[in-house]
Amino acid sequence: MEPANDDSDPAHVNAAGFVRPDNDPRQLAEFFSVYLSYLEEAGHSLDSLSIQNEPEATSPWDANIYTPPRMGNVLEAVAQRIVADGHSTRLHGPDDAIADFVPIYLPALLAKPTVASLFDAVGFHLYGATFYPDSSTVAAEVAPVANAAPPEMPLWMTEFSNTTLQGYGSHDEGIWQAELIHESLVNGVSMYVMWNLYRPGGPGEAAIAIPTTPGAHGYTVTPKYWTLRQYAKYVRAGTVRIEASSDDADLLVTAFRDDAAGKLVAVAINRADAPRWAVFKGANLSGAPEVVRTSQLESGASVSLDSFDRFADRALLMPARSVATLIWMLDPWRRAALRFRSAVEVHHARERQRAESHAQCDAVPAERRESMALQETDQPAHRDRGRYGCDREAEQHRRDAELLEQVRRAGVHRREHVLQQLVAARRAERRHAEQERELRGVARAQAEQHAACDRHHRSRRAGPHRRALEEPDRERLLPTQ
């Protein structure tokens, strides 16, 4: 939506207090920049921003409708302001209600240079043909989004809700939602967002319902909360979906590798009206997994190894209409190697993001560049070649590859020693990097102080201006200097 910059000016807002679509988009850009600053000061930086929910949808309330060209122009103004004001927030969209509109809107957004440099994911909803209890339409809805998205760009399903109007939601609704999550993930979606987390009253759309009767207290946790929890609690951000299959059409399974935690996670759904025994097989599965299950009689319950519903390490009884999550901890040396690889990947991703941030400067209007100069963090050092530039990055890639090769070649009795060396080396590098950042921060603070003095004394004569800049330097000199 486009919140009003000044509600007191009726020429710029409509009855609901929104900026008119034909107004200068820089007003909305200013609003979002102020809002992002507020979140950052509160310690809750926003990872990704979408400026309009369902831009093509006509609503019974007063709301904004964007055409693709208009949305591209407005989003470009917002993106330029984000870059100019030094925010780290990225962008996603267009968050169309019907996925078939994504191929119409997305090209207009990515045609804008600053938007394209900040665009992280394609957002969409499933309100075209998908409804409870049929999840078979998900693949057809995701297909046009996947075809329109650039290669390797994540697909985010940012809203879907439906209900049978049965009170706060039935157990079958919870199972149907689990099926929708499964179908979305296996068709390439990397984020599934349920609408909505909590809501006053019914009719069963929310994971948590709050009573609306005056004087009533408490809340109701609905079945959809528990089936969503089977994924959300154990499949964390950064995990990678790996191949998994089932011989039973009524037994669905997805599997994930969590390198940071050293875990393998599988989520299984029995959508049949009868119980099923499931046997889990895999080359990297070792030991008995932790099992958490939701069924008509259970809500996120742990299933212990001595339960009659488990047999040996791999077999689990899946009650009728149930969801189970299985978590395997990998052996110690493999967990350490995965954590090291994950740290290396995060490091290189951050380096690439810094390089992209510098490239964005070329898309920023000239009048914004002066303010950006004082807001850069530790990025300028990466522009130089040699120690801080491309040569260092190539050297880091080479060293990481050598260290991983040492782990692979080390015998079983030496792996722990090699991994300890890798951890110690990584800690030393982290301390060195922190020292470098601290030194750059001191230099940056001094530069900002001089710049402030320069702006304050710019209108004065050269003599007082020079003395005002030299005085802080003399105060910092030690007696021996």
Beta strand pairing call for 48-49 and 90-96 = parallel
Same domain for 325 and 346: no
pTM for the complete prediction? Answer: 0.68
Give the end of a domain, one of 220, 237, 254.
237
Give the end of a domain, one of 329, 344, 362.
329
Give dist(CA 253, CA 186) in Å, integer: 9
Check which CATH number belongs to the domain holding 297 and give it: 2.60.40.1180
Show the DSSP H helices in 211-331 as ranges: 223-232
Same domain for 342 and 310: no
The pLDDT value given to residue 357:
63
Q: How many domains does the chain have?
A: 3
Same domain for 272 and 184: no
Same domain for 78 and 143: yes
Same domain for 77 and 145: yes
Same domain for 382 and 320: no
Whether 145 is in a domain gets the answer yes
Query: Half-sphere exposure of residue 39, counting CA atoms within 13 Å on the CB side?
Result: 15
Whether 5 is in a domain gets the answer no
* Residue 398 CB neighbour total at 10 angstroms: 10
Same domain for 314 and 426: no
Concatenated DSSP letters of 4-53: -S-TT-TTSB-TTSBBPTTS-THHHHHHHHHHHHHHHHTT---SEE-S-S
Same domain for 439 and 341: yes
Same domain for 148 and 270: no
Whether 18 is in a domain gets the answer no
Residues of the chain where predicted confidence (pLDDT) is lower than 50: 1-10, 13-17, 19, 368-390, 461-466, 468-469, 472-473, 476-481
Give the end of a domain, one of 309, 329, 349.
329
Which range of residues forms the domain containing residue 296?
264-329
Q: Which amino acid is at 477?
A: L
Do 284 and 264 form a contact (C-beta atoms < 8 A)?
yes
Same domain for 276 and 390: no
Whether 243 is in a domain gets the answer no
Whether 165 is in a domain gets the answer yes
Same domain for 197 and 73: yes
Same domain for 428 and 287: no
